[in-house]
Chain A
Amino acid sequence: MVKSTDAAAAQTKSLPKRIAKFWWVYIFLAPGVIYLLFFNYYPMYGIVLAFKDYLVKEGIMGSPWSIPFYKHFIALYNDNQFGAVFFNTFRMGLGYILTSFPAPIILALMLNELRIGKYKKVLQTVYTFPNFLSWVIIGGVMVSFLSTDGLVNSLVKQLGGQSVSFLTNSSSIRPIMYGTNVWKTAGWSAIMYLAAIAGINPELYEAASIDGAGRFARMYHITLPGIRPTATIILILAFAGILNNGFDQILNMTNPVVRPSVEIIDTYIYQKTFASTPNYGFSTAVGLSKSVINLVFLLLANKITKLFGGDGIV
């Protein structure tokens, strides 16, 4: 039966014998691999739809190829909304990164400086809580909080001011999205930085204190370099996902009035496919374009980090 999984011994045997020896590993592999084939690789194969005219009866495989095969991409190029959507996706992606990347770092630095241990625990529990609620719930909470008859506006009115329709105003909706996103996620993201800070050698701080470094000097010269590797990875992943931000939030916090100001590729695909007559080929072409750009961004971000002496992830 199963003997030692000693790699060296295994290498000396022939392939069928080695497979026979590890038969049980393949049984463990089977469920996961079947899952991946059905729900990751079959959809990946489904990308061919970007080059096909989808017919419900024929399915993904049987549907005929488009003529010319890049038909949907021409349609995409000529689509009068896509340019704006594409631009807005980048703008919002950047907006999300510029707000949700620094916020948890600042929060972690502040929490780290807090002297009262018990209070720190309470704060962490409260700050991290919204992260575990769905955008459906947060959307409900925030809409009720920010709408024209919500708490913020009620207070404004009671103080004699004019109510502001934050959620139906196309100029305020994007900042609202970034803000509520930080509100939901920063506490949780800060934990990662707190873990990194906890891993910094305390002797460094002692030595710096003896040398007369003040609190901010220590923060700048010890803490920040200490969390740099973590921050780098998070930033790479953020840039790799720049086009993925906000889908769930947008669907749960915005109404049709302001939708054009927050339309991103994902919501565009969603709206094109599920709110009107679907053109699956076209939608897939949009999705494929997005996936490719995402991948390019990931590789670029990774390359740049390596260029600056970081570790990278791929």
Chain B
Amino acid sequence: MTKKANKKSSRKWEAFDVVNVILLTVMLIVVVIPFYYVIVKSLVSQQDWTMSGGAMLYPKNPTLVNYRDVFASGQVWTGYKNAIINSVVGVFYSMFLTTTLAYALSKKAFPGRKLFQNMAIVPMFFTGGLIPLFLVVKSLGLTGSRWSVILPLGLSLYNMVIMRTFFEQVPHDLEEAAVIDGAGPFRIFAQIYLPLVKPALATLVLFYTVDRWNEWFYSSLFLGDGKLWPIQLVLRQILWATGSFAKVVPDLAGRKVFSQGIQAASVIITMLPIMCVYPFLQKHFVKGIMLGALKS
């Protein structure tokens, strides 16, 4: 046996490896199939669907008729617009709160640090609960406006703690050098600290964006008016009250709409942004969880 072969034999595929690959592949299929099934369903007409008995390998006679029906009502467009507004404004707001608080708490010597530190930690373990928050938002007069969803969901303390760790790791002499050059505290923050923690900022932006995009619960409590509903809430309505949605779709030449197809198409439309972006940004998400692991 040559040396090379010898080396290889220590990494020989055993039965375990084969079984392992097979099992992992089965799990891959288990994750993918429900999505694939919904995609196929969204692309066929009711007639073809019924004829197939509800199980197609691929869409026969693919059609976009379900997507057209979904968009015909206009609700989905409004939902998209609202979700984008809530996400953009909300993420800016959340990042502002997170970085400023984290930066302040990363400083060691100011009087009252312990107090503020504890103030930020207690809510991680004890909260007022849903009803008091609901009544607070109501009493602040926010109900019925976008702000009722944007403002209360501002700060994830978990993200703040991660961010603080990053600020703490910036070498101290950089700041001292800047002070000697005459830079004020806000310039130091914006021009020295923020650029140095860019990777962490990017990750937090991703997490906050996903959270905002997926938000439906507070929207359902605070936004009575359907005009302000984000896409997730519109989707929820389509999924759980499909009869009423089908009525919203204009009757096109007496054709009956395919309610399951409409539901499927709505699901795809709602998950599309994440589906398109996630594979490319996955490593940044992963970095995020590593930060969390590092911290704990």
**What residues of chain A have their CB less than 8 Å away from a CB belonging to chain B?**
1-7, 10-11, 15, 18-19, 22, 24-26, 28-33, 35-36, 38-47, 49, 54, 59-60, 107, 110-111, 113-116, 119, 122-130, 132-134, 136-137, 139-145, 149-151, 153-155, 157-158, 183, 187-188, 191-192, 195-196, 215, 230, 233, 240, 248, 251-252, 266, 269-270, 273-274, 280, 283-284, 287-288, 290-291, 294-295, 298, 313-314
Among B1-9, B10-18, B70-78, B245-253, the one that faces the other chain is: B10-18
Q: Is residue B170 within 8 Å, beta carbon to beta carbon, of the partner chain?
A: no
Chain A residues in 8 Å Cβ range of B14: 215
B185 and A24 form a contact (CB under 8 A): yes
Q: Closest B residue to A281 by CB, please name it.
A: B131
Interface residues of B in 206-246 (CB under 8 A from A): 210, 213-217, 221, 232-233, 235-236, 239
Complex CA gap A137/B98 in Å reads: 28
Question: How far is it, in angstroms, between the C-alpha of A313 and the C-alpha of B296 when the chains are bound?
Answer: 8
Cβ 8 A contact of B179, one of A2, A41, A130: A2
Q: How far is the CB of A43 from chain B (nearest CB, A)?
A: 3
B133 at the interface (CB under 8 A from A): yes
User: In this assembly, does B154 line the interface, its C-beta being within 8 Å of a C-beta of chain A?
Assistant: yes
Contact B139 A59, beta carbon cutoff 8 Å: yes
Q: A132-B285, A155-B55 are in contact. Are A28 and B103 (CB under 8 A)?
A: yes
Say whether A136 contacts B236, CB under 8 Å. yes
Would you list which residues of chain B between 27 and 43 have a CB under 8 Å from chain A?
Answer: 27-28, 30-35, 37-38, 41
Asked if B58 is at the interface (CB within 8 A of a chain A CB), the reply is: no
Q: Max chain A CB contacts within 10 Å: which of B23, B123, B264?
A: B123
Are B30 and A44 in touch, CB under 8 angstroms?
no
Q: Are A2 and B289 in contact (CB under 8 A)?
A: no
Residue of B nearest to A292 (CB): B126
B267: nearest chain-A partner, CB-CB:
A140
Once the chains bind, are A134 and B104 in contact (CB under 8 Å)? no
CB nearest to B178 among chain A residues: A2
For the complex, what is the distance from the CA of A110 to the CA of B24, rounded to whole Å?
8
Q: Tell me whether A2 and B239 are in contact in the complex, defined as CB-CB below 8 angstroms, given that A22-B109, A144-B260 are known contacts.
A: no
Q: How far is the CA of A110 from the CA of B279 in the complex (A)?
A: 22
B286 within 8 A of A: yes
Tell me if A36 and B155 are in contact (CB < 8 A): yes
Which 6 interchain pairs have the tightest Cβ spacing?
A46-B132, A32-B101, A43-B128, A287-B129, A134-B214, A154-B54
Interface locus among B59-67, B196-204, B270-278:
B270-278
Within 8 Å CB of B17, what residues of A?
113, 115
* A294: B residues at CB distance < 8 A: 126
Cα-based distance from A314 to B118 in the complex (angstroms): 12
Which residue of chain A is the closest to B116 with respect to CB atoms? Answer: A29
Q: Are A126 and B32 in contact (CB under 8 A)?
A: yes
Q: Assess the A298–B216 pair: CB atoms within 8 A.
A: no
- A136–B269 Cα distance when bound, in Å, is 13
CA of A14 to CA of B213, assembled, Å: 49
Q: State the B residues within 8 Å of A (CB).
A: 11, 13-14, 16-17, 20-21, 23-24, 27-28, 30-35, 37-38, 41, 53-55, 96-98, 100-101, 103-105, 107-111, 116, 119-120, 123, 125-136, 139-140, 151-152, 154-155, 160, 172, 175-176, 179, 182, 184-186, 188-189, 210, 213-217, 221, 232-233, 235-236, 239, 260, 263-264, 266-267, 270-271, 274-275, 278-279, 282, 285-286, 289-290, 292-293, 296
A43-B133, A155-B55 in contact; A191/B179 too (CB < 8 A)?
Answer: no
Please give, as numbers and ranges, the residues of chain A lying within 8 Å of B179 by CB-CB distance: 1-4
> Smallest distance from the beta carbon of A287 to chain B beta carbons, Å?
3
A17, closest chain B residue (CB): B111
> Which residues on the B side are within 8 Å of A124 (C-beta)?
282, 286
B-side contacts of A122, CB under 8 Å: 28
17 contacts between A and B (CB under 8 A): A1-B184, A5-B109, A10-B110, A31-B97, A33-B116, A38-B136, A40-B123, A40-B127, A41-B119, A42-B128, A43-B128, A43-B129, A115-B11, A130-B31, A158-B53, A183-B30, A291-B129
Q: Most B CB atoms within 10 A — which of A11, A32, A33, A233?
A: A32
- When distances are taken between beta carbons in the complex, the residues of chain A under 8 Å from B135 are 46, 49, 54, 59-60, 280
* CA A104 to CA B104, docked complex, whole Å: 36
Contact residues of A: prevailing secondary structure:
helix
Q: Is the CB of A273 within 8 A of B131?
A: yes
**Max chain B CB contacts within 10 Å: which of A154, A240, A248?**
A154
* A131 and B184 alpha carbons, distance in the complex (Å): 42
- Least CB distance from B157 to A in Å reads 9
Nearest chain B CB to A44 CB, angstrom units: 4
Contact: B120 with A32, CB < 8 Å? yes
B110 and A144: CB pair below 8 A?
no
B185 contacts A134, C-beta separation under 8 Å: no
List chain B residues, Cβ under 8 A from A134: 213-216, 232, 270
Contact of B125 with A295 in the complex, beta carbons under 8 Å: yes
Query: Using Cβ atoms and an 8 Å threshold, which residues of chain A touch B21?
Result: 114, 116, 119
Chain B residues within an 8 Å CB radius of A313? 296
Complex contacts, A31 vs chain B, CB 8 Å: 96-97, 100-101
CA A314 to CA B124, docked complex, whole Å: 11
Q: Is the beta-carbon distance between B132 and A39 smaller than 8 angstroms?
A: no
- Please, which residue of chain A has its CB at the minimum distance from the CB of B132? A46
* A269 and B130 alpha carbons, distance in the complex (Å): 8
- Would B239 and A136 count as touching, CB distance under 8 A? yes
Most buried by B among A114, A140, A153, A215: A140
- What is the CA–CA distance of A125 and B274 in the complex, to the nearest angstrom? 13
Residues of chain A lying within 8 A (CB to CB) of residue B232: 134, 136-137
